[in-house]
Chain A
Amino acid sequence: MEPIVMLFAWMLIIAFLAFIACMFEDLESDIGSQSNPNSQIQLAPEMGYIHRYFNKAISGEGLSYALSCTISGTIAMLILLQLESVGPTAALLAIPVGAAVGSLVHMVRSSVCHVGREAAHKRFEQPIYLDVLYGHLLPIATHNFLAVICITAIAYIQSNLGILSGVAGASNPFPLPLLCLIWGLTVGAIGSSTGDIHYGTERAFQDKPFGEGRRVVYHGQICRYGACGTRTSKDVAAFCAKYGGPATGLAFGLIVLFENWRTVIGMTLGGVAGPGWNPSLAAAWGIGIGIVIAVVLVILARTIEKWARNKYGPFVGE
């Protein structure tokens, strides 16, 4: 197969992995109640709302995932260096083992964080439910594992893209752990910026009127009961997996897809790996395509804003 076709094929695999990674990142943050909506879980006992949500906010999602992914990337690179004689198949062992270590560390940080935060709420009579602690650690670790293994795989592919596709110069010059750090930061930043809205606005306040911003007076008054019994953070993931999670995955998938796509198209138009290779032309095409995509995004954003204004109308109520 033509090397450039292989390059596009690998690009699509990377985009697919990015979709999966960010979706599971967002769902993991929902199960652990990390990042922005955690402010409500933290506030609830102070407002007299004793709850059974998992309460962890290790740090911002970006930094938390940067750490998990970098641990994974570092372990994976060490194994790859140890098994250099085995060849590329060593990645089949190195990537999952690296991701497993990253997830275990994340699980340890989650447990310590939850217990610490809940203990601080003793003054508001918030108990530490041991079944909540034990019951959430495994879903947190498994969702985190899936996100981290995908990010590590993306970083591995990108740092070896030249060899895998046969296109000279297609590999990213950054080492594997640094690529894991970059994508870990990005996946966390996106999961925090987009997916949290579905959890914080809708799921955490499901008993409040639909279609309005959550007023400051509602803060802390989280919805604690589900269709059957008391709600836990695991129920949040089941709800957000229907919209917030996939939408978040879509955001990261599209970013990775279009970032790689415009670079590869630029490389193709610049005469990739041929005698007429013109790096300035390749870079300029990539920049031009990127600007066009940004303009299209602004137009799309304006279009859906207008649609929402016309469809929903001005705020009705008090």
Chain B
Amino acid sequence: MIETLLLVLVCIIIGGLLSSLAVHLMPVGGAPAAMATATGIATGCVMLMTGAAVTGLFTASTVASFWVTKPNVILVALSGAVGSMLMIGFTMFVGNLIYIFGAGIVPCSGRVAVDPITKDSQTEYKTPRTDGHGVPTASFVSGILGGFSGGFGGALIYVVLVSDSYAHFSVATAGIVAMGIFIANAIIAAYNIGGTIEGFHDPKFKARIRTGLTCSLIVSVLCGVIIVIAMLTGTLAGGVM
């Protein structure tokens, strides 16, 4: 019993940390990106990452139901990771289609002079008095990695909560709890970022990731302890929904 509780706690902490890492990896442009005044996806961190994570959660729930009992934790978590990755990938791709063909704008970074992946120069393509625009390749790859990380974290929490071998919550309860832990971590990460971020190549990423992960660790431990208490007392066993 102790081993199971510890394993659930550790998985929730890992899931929470991955969720926080995911939000920091996202190329989030927020409201300015909708006016092509900042590089990244034109919405807020929490909104975007939650949308991606729940898409992964949907696939993870379908894949978890392949097994009558005891779903394979790694395969379910990977299915969720790929689901989130595809959601972010298509969103960034279509966003770029609108920037390029709808507004005639070249995607470029506002924070680095050279794209670290393609080695393309960025400065001369940037509109003056903007912080870049569109989703350049480095940000795209960062977003894909962020989607993978966040989807894996969210789906890992879900599968551990729903599995007969671990918490044994009902599917709906496990889904809601996983979403809640994910959103708590995403909001903390959004506060840490404080505005826009372009991805792993953004100087902001290196400067703030440690603080973000430390805060996420605290939040995830708190969430994990609550889940462990719920398991010990049987409050959510079998589910409340």
Taken together as a complex, chains A and B put the C-alpha atoms of A217 and B98 apart, in Å, by 23
Q: Mark B77-113, 1 if CB is under 8 A from A, else 0.
A: 0110011011101111111111111111111000000
Taken together as a complex, chains A and B put the C-alpha atoms of A12 and B42 apart, in Å, by 28
* Contact status B86-A283, CB under 8 Å: no
Q: Mark A268-298, 1 if CB is under 8 A from B, else 0.
A: 0010000000011011101100110110011
Taken together as a complex, chains A and B put the C-alpha atoms of A226 and B64 apart, in Å, by 53
Taken together as a complex, chains A and B put the C-alpha atoms of A193 and B41 apart, in Å, by 6
Chain A, Cβ-Cβ closest to B135 = A301
A201 touches which of B48, B72, B105 (Cβ 8 Å): B105
Question: How many Å from the CB of B117 to the closest CB on chain A?
Answer: 9
B124 touches which of A301, A302, A304, A315 (Cβ 8 Å): A315
* Contact status B59-A259, CB under 8 Å: yes
Set of chain A residues within 8 Å of B104, measured between Cβ atoms: 210-211, 312
Set of chain B residues within 8 Å of A192, measured between Cβ atoms: 42-43, 47-48
Q: Does B4 contact A (CB under 8 A)?
A: no
Taken together as a complex, chains A and B put the C-alpha atoms of A254 and B140 apart, in Å, by 18
B47 touches which of A63, A195, A297, A300 (Cβ 8 Å): A63
B58 touches which of A172, A270, A293, A300 (Cβ 8 Å): A172
Q: Mark A35-56, 1 if CB is under 8 A from B, else 0.
A: 1110110000000000000000
* Contact status B86-A189, CB under 8 Å: no
Q: Does B141 contact A (CB under 8 A)?
A: yes
* Contact status B61-A172, CB under 8 Å: yes
B35 touches which of A188, A211, A219, A286 (Cβ 8 Å): A219
Question: How many Å from the CB of B151 to the closest CB on chain A?
Answer: 10
Q: Does B191 contact A (CB under 8 A)?
A: no
Q: Does A96 contact B (CB under 8 A)?
A: no
Given A173-B171, A185-B54, decide whether A283 and B72 contact each other with a Cβ distance below 8 A: yes
Chain A, Cβ-Cβ closest to B57 = A182
Taken together as a complex, chains A and B put the C-alpha atoms of A263 and B172 apart, in Å, by 20
Set of chain A residues within 8 Å of B35, measured between Cβ atoms: 36-37, 40, 200-201, 204-205, 213-214, 218-219
* Contact status B66-A60, CB under 8 Å: no
* Contact status A173-B141, CB under 8 Å: no
Question: How many Å from the CB of B86 to the closest CB on chain A?
Answer: 6
Chain B, Cβ-Cβ closest to A181 = B54
Question: How many Å from the CB of A205 to the closest CB on chain B?
Answer: 7
Set of chain B residues within 8 Å of A189, measured between Cβ atoms: 43, 47-48, 50-52, 91
Taken together as a complex, chains A and B put the C-alpha atoms of A280 and B72 apart, in Å, by 7
Chain A, Cβ-Cβ closest to B139 = A301
* Contact status A175-B105, CB under 8 Å: no
* Contact status A304-B102, CB under 8 Å: no
* Contact status B58-A213, CB under 8 Å: no
Set of chain A residues within 8 Å of B58, measured between Cβ atoms: 172, 174, 179, 182-183, 259
Chain B, Cβ-Cβ closest to A252 = B90
* Contact status A193-B100, CB under 8 Å: no
* Contact status A304-B51, CB under 8 Å: no
* Contact status B136-A211, CB under 8 Å: no
* Contact status B42-A251, CB under 8 Å: no
* Contact status B34-A305, CB under 8 Å: no
Set of chain B residues within 8 Å of A315, measured between Cβ atoms: 106, 124-128
B42 touches which of A197, A267, A298, A314 (Cβ 8 Å): A197
Set of chain B residues within 8 Å of A204, measured between Cβ atoms: 35
Set of chain B residues within 8 Å of A301, measured between Cβ atoms: 92-93, 96, 135, 137, 140
Taken together as a complex, chains A and B put the C-alpha atoms of A90 and B144 apart, in Å, by 41
Q: Does A198 contact B (CB under 8 A)?
A: yes
Q: Give the contacts of A298-318 with B (CB-CB under 8 A).
A: 298, 300-302, 304-305, 307-309, 312, 314-315, 318
Question: How many Å from the CB of B43 to the closest CB on chain A?
Answer: 4
Q: Mark B187-231, 1 if CB is under 8 A from A, else 0.
A: 000000000000000000000000000000000000000000000
Given A247-B94, A300-B93, decide whether A213 and B37 contact each other with a Cβ distance below 8 A: yes
Q: Does A10 contact B (CB under 8 A)?
A: no
* Contact status B51-A62, CB under 8 Å: yes
Q: Mark B1-40, 1 if CB is under 8 A from A, else 0.
A: 0000000000000000000000000000011011111000
* Contact status B51-A283, CB under 8 Å: no
A175 touches which of B36, B37, B62, B241 (Cβ 8 Å): B241
Q: Does A110 contact B (CB under 8 A)?
A: no
Chain B, Cβ-Cβ closest to A202 = B103
* A–B Cβ pairs within 8 angstroms, 8 of them: A189-B43, A189-B50, A192-B42, A197-B36, A219-B35, A283-B72, A294-B86, A302-B118
Q: Contacts A215-B130, A283-B79 given; 8 further ones with Cβ under 8 A?
A: A171-B65, A178-B176, A216-B129, A217-B129, A255-B91, A263-B59, A297-B93, A315-B125
A-B pairs with the 8 shortest C-beta distances?
A: A189-B51, A290-B82, A211-B104, A36-B34, A200-B34, A279-B66, A251-B94, A213-B127
